[in-house]
A and B are shown apart, each in its own frame.
Chain A
Amino acid sequence: MKIIKIILIMLLIFEFFCHLISANQDVEIHGFLSQGFLKTDQDNYFADTESGSFEFNEFGINLSTQLNDQFITGLQLVSRSFGDIGENKISLDWAFADYRWKDWLGLRFGKIKTPFGLYNETRDIDMLNTNVLLPQSIYAESWRESLVSSTGLGLYGDLLFKFFGDIHYQALFGQVYIPTDGGVSKYIDRDGMMKIVDLEQPKSYNLNLIWSTPINGLKFCSSLIYSKHKMQININNHYMYGDLHLGTDIYNQIPSQIESILENKGAGDDLTRSIFSQSITLDHFNGIEISDIWPKQATLIYDPLTFVVLSAEYSWNNLTLAAEHMDIRAKYEMSLNENNMFLINPSTVSNLEGYYISLDYRFTNWLKLGLYYSEYYNDKNDKKGNYHRDLNKDAAYIYSEDQRYKYALSAIGEGLKYAVKDSFGIDLSDDDLKSLNLEPKVSLIKPKYYSHNSWLKDFVISACFDINENWTFKLEGHFMNGSHFFNYADDSESINQKRFMFASKLTANF
């Protein structure tokens, strides 16, 4: 049904533009196709990069027309894949109408690319960037969906000054679409504790200012994004993957064990023992079932989530230097849905930080080389990663499933002693209960945590070959230190601190 709707919409849009073409309206069509390859020497980066992955591409086509002197409209469809993010689903990248009343004031409405930093608007358009992967300290693939575009209204304009250069501004207010199975979801789930089940599509306020100074080639940029997010998650009570259904285990595993204990103590006959074992499991151990089933549903609220980026770029002849710094401030809380108990107190604040410096130089018409060094920290007040290092000692981490079952068994044993005394007048000893055993229903993966989970540093060398106006080929090497943004689900039990990643991409555009 969804596919039919998409096809119908595409046909309507296509018919609209065909109508314009037949009415001699000037319609421009442009597009691009990019196919990349990623290979890491260890650890997987969004895709199965240890083996080498081609799950790294973007395809796009856009149409636009100028309806009159002040009014432009257009749309771009895009399909992308980065590991299991995107999966080449066709989506609307942007589609809006643009009314420019004055140089200093224009209005846009529809789905609009979010201006953020120097390169967010073009992050998916390979031929416009020197690098295969933009610095992840600012342009992380993990939260791309929350930053790439919003549907709503925008104001923009150019303030032109004689001696002060000019200022280009864009202000957007709209709704952001974040899929539950995309990069944001993978990012939140990377530690193994949480999984997004549902989220309300957040509203976002965005302001972007670019000051092109009177010094030729020098510009400064500042960007702000302010949004609130509310999501439903499944959460484990400590750091592991998998589900624990202790209640189900009780129903399946305990009755026959109780029957065996009663038989050894000579309590009742076969039928009485069987009925007693089933009924006591159902009647007396529900308390254990309720308190020990994980994961549980919880509500995670970011109120607000704020991104601030300050940027500078200087171009002189064939040389371009750029530097950007980002602060993310997240005020958040988490509570269990079953009893509203706070797992993370309201007013908890996290401060994340990222920055980079880059250089690129065009040597010839067909060759440009680039370098950048980027750093990202999950907590700007804990750059050594003590939080992640100390997780291994945390009670919630070392509290293994064995201990959980031990406590549950202890409670079952006490309950059983009481019930047997009451029904059969028989005292059960601790030795009698030794045969009680609970096996976990599913095996659990418990990642090991390291201080380097808190950061990602990346030194990158890129070579960009402009084969001609329409074709670009890139080769790139990443020397990475740190494992933030890596998903432990992709790398089982441990992630290494350092790795090398090779990236290449071939792009055609028209």
Chain B
Amino acid sequence: MKKKYSICIIMIIIISYLILNAYCNENKKIIIITNKSVNGKIDQLDIKNIYLGKKTKWDDETKIVFYIYDDEKSLEFFLKKFIGKNVHQYKKYWKKKVFTGKGRMPKSSNSIDDIVNLVDKTEASIAFIPYDPLLDKNIQVIDLK
């Protein structure tokens, strides 16, 4: 009887954790923003390839500049949703490129204002932030299909 009771308690804790985790993730939000010079459709696969340095040009051959919002929770959520890596794996991926000479460290900032300003001023740029900036800048929010 005691054993069954213990198992039930453990099950409840696990299920509660999973529900809470799912709820917390549901409340997380990531908005993809680009400079208004960026035309054409962008999908999740494009974002993954951009942030892994595999897609380096837009359809009009302009060089893509991407920025990373280096806030732990937002970055973790973004990477999990779009890239399929955790923060350590992603940083290791870029460090490998840097230390083999086959890439350079992406630009990052932990300030949303900085990220928004960078995208505003940089042609062909893209970034992610945790909420819609709602500002009349040279920025567009990407609606992902």
- Interface residues, chain A, with chain B CB atoms under 8 Å away: 28, 30, 32, 60, 62, 64, 66, 69-70, 72, 74-76, 94-96, 98, 100, 102-103, 112-113, 121-122, 125, 127-128, 156, 158, 160, 162, 166, 168, 216-217, 315, 317-318, 320, 362, 365, 368, 466, 469, 509
When chains A and B are docked, how far (Å) is the Cα of A102 from the Cα of B92? 25
Which chain A residues border B56 with CB–CB below 8 Å?
A: 100, 103
7 example contacts (A-B, Cβ-Cβ < 8 A) are as follows A30-B99, A95-B101, A98-B102, A125-B99, A128-B92, A128-B99, A315-B84
A160 contact set on B, CB distance < 8 A: 45, 49, 54-55
Residue B27 lies at the interface, judged by CB distance under 8 Å to chain A: no
Q: List residues of chain B with CB within 8 A of the CB of A158.
A: 49, 54-55
Smallest Cβ distance from A354 to chain B, in angstroms? 23
User: Quick one: closest A residue to B49, CB to CB?
Assistant: A160
| A413 CB to nearest chain B CB (Å) | 66
Find out whether the CB atom of B105 lies under 8 angstroms from the CB atom of A217. Answer: no
Minimum CB–CB distance from A56 to chain B (whole Å) comes to 19
Question: B99 touching A28 by the CB < 8 A rule?
Answer: no
Residue of B with least CB distance to A113: B100
A111 to chain B, nearest CB (A): 9
Q: Which residue of A lies closest to B105 (CB)?
A: A28
Q: Does the CB pair A98–B99 fall under 8 Å?
A: no
Q: Is the CB of B88 within 8 A of A466?
A: yes
CA A28 to CA B105, docked complex, whole Å = 9
B101 touches which one: A32, A96, A102, A469 (CB < 8 A)?
Answer: A96
Contact with A along B75-92 (1 / 0, CB 8 A): 000000000111011011
Known A162-B45, A315-B85, A466-B88; judge A74-B55 contact (CB<8 A): no
Question: Please, how many angstroms separate the alpha-carbon atoms of A272 and B127 in the complex?
Answer: 101
Q: Which residues of A contact B57 (CB under 8 A)?
A: 102-103
Q: Is B101 in contact with A122, judged by CB distance below 8 angstroms? A: no
Point out the residue from B45, B85, B99 that lies within 8 Å of A62, measured CB to CB. B99
Minimal beta-carbon separation of A358 from chain B (angstroms)? 15
A114 vs chain B, min Cβ distance (A): 10
Asked whether B96 is an interface residue with its Cβ less than 8 Å from the other chain, the reply is yes
Residue of A nearest to B124 (CB): A69
The complex places the Cα of A32 from the Cα of B89 at a distance, in Å, of 19
Q: Which residues in A have their C-beta under 8 angstroms from that of B104?
A: 28, 64, 66, 72
- Taking CB atoms, residues of chain B closer than 8 Å to A122 are 96, 99-100
Contact B99 A32 (CB under 8 A): yes
A318 in contact with B86 given A69-B63, A72-B104, A160-B49 (CB within 8 Å): yes
A128: which of B49, B54, B96 is its contact (CB, 8 Å)? B96
Q: How far is the CA of A318 from the CA of B99 in the complex (A)?
A: 23
Residue in A closest to B99 when the chains form the complex, CB atoms: A125
A245 to B102 alpha-carbon distance, docked (Å): 53
CA–CA, A75 and B134, complex, Å: 43
Query: CB distance A28 to B100 under 8 Å?
Result: no
CB-based contact B63/A94 at 8 Å: no
Interface size range of chain B in the complex: 20 to 34
- Decide yes or no: A64 and B101 within 8 Å by CB, A317-B86, A362-B88 being known contacts: yes
Q: Which residue of B lies closest to A466 (CB)?
A: B88
Q: How far is the CB of B50 from chain A (nearest CB, A)?
A: 10
Closest to A78 in B: B99
B-side contacts of A100, CB under 8 Å:
56
User: Contact: A362 with B96, CB < 8 Å?
Assistant: no
Is there a chain A Cβ closer than 8 Å to B12's Cβ? no
Note all chain A residues with C-beta closer than 8 A to B89.
315, 320
Identity of the chain B residue whose Cβ is nearest the Cβ of A166 in the assembled complex: B54
Query: Which residue of the partner chain A has the closest CB to B80?
Result: A317
Contact partner, A168, options B54, B55, B91, Cβ 8 Å:
B54
B36 within 8 A of A: no
Q: Which of B59-116 contact A (CB under 8 A)?
A: 63, 84-86, 88-89, 91-92, 95-96, 98-102, 104-105
Question: Which B residue sits closest to A163, measured CB to CB?
Answer: B45
Contact partners of B105 in chain A: CB under 8 A:
28, 30
Among B85, B91, B95, max chain A CB count under 10 A is at B95
Q: How far, in angstroms, from A113 to B45 measured CA to CA in the complex?
A: 29
Name which residue of chain B comes closest to A156, CB basis: B102
Cα A76 to Cα B85 in complex, Å, equals 27
**A94 to B105, alpha carbons, bound, how many Å?**
17
Verify A362–B86 contact, CB threshold 8 A: yes
Q: For B88, what are the chain A residues with a Cβ–Cβ distance below 8 Å?
A: 362, 365, 368, 466
Cα distance, A65 to B13, chains bound together (Å): 52
Partner of A28, one of B49, B91, B98: B98
Residue of B nearest to A73 (CB): B101
Contact A76 B96 (CB under 8 A): no
**B49 lies within 8 A of A62 (CB):** no
Q: Is the CB of A62 within 8 A of B54?
A: no
Q: Does B63 contact A70, Cβ atoms closer than 8 Å?
A: yes
State in angstroms the CA–CA spacing of A132 and B52 once bound together. 26
User: Measured between alpha carbons, how far is A318 from B84 in the docked complex, in Å?
Assistant: 11
Q: How far is the CB of A163 from chain B (nearest CB, A)?
A: 9
How many Å lie between the Cα of A122 and that of B85 in the bound state? 19
Residue of B nearest to A315 (CB): B89
With CB as the reference atom, state the residue of chain B lying closest to A96: B101
CB contacts (< 8 Å) of A125 on chain B: these are 95-96, 99
Considering the chains assembled together, what is the distance between the CA atoms of A384 and B55 in angstroms?
Answer: 49
CA A372 – CA B102 in complex, angstroms? 28
Which of these, A70, A76, A362, contacts B99 with CB under 8 Å? A76
Q: Which of B63, B86, B88, B101 has the most CB of A within 10 A?
A: B101
Chain A residues with Cβ under 8 A from B45's Cβ?
Answer: 160, 162
Among residues of A, the one whose C-beta sits closest to the C-beta of B95 is A128
Given contacts A125-B96, A158-B55, A320-B89, 17 further A-B contacts (CB under 8 A): A28-B98, A66-B104, A74-B101, A94-B100, A112-B101, A113-B102, A121-B96, A121-B100, A122-B96, A125-B95, A128-B96, A162-B45, A216-B84, A217-B85, A368-B88, A469-B91, A509-B95
Q: Assuming the A-B contacts A28-B105, A128-B92, A317-B86, are A103 and B55 also in contact, with contact meaning beta carbons closer than 8 angstroms in the complex? A: yes
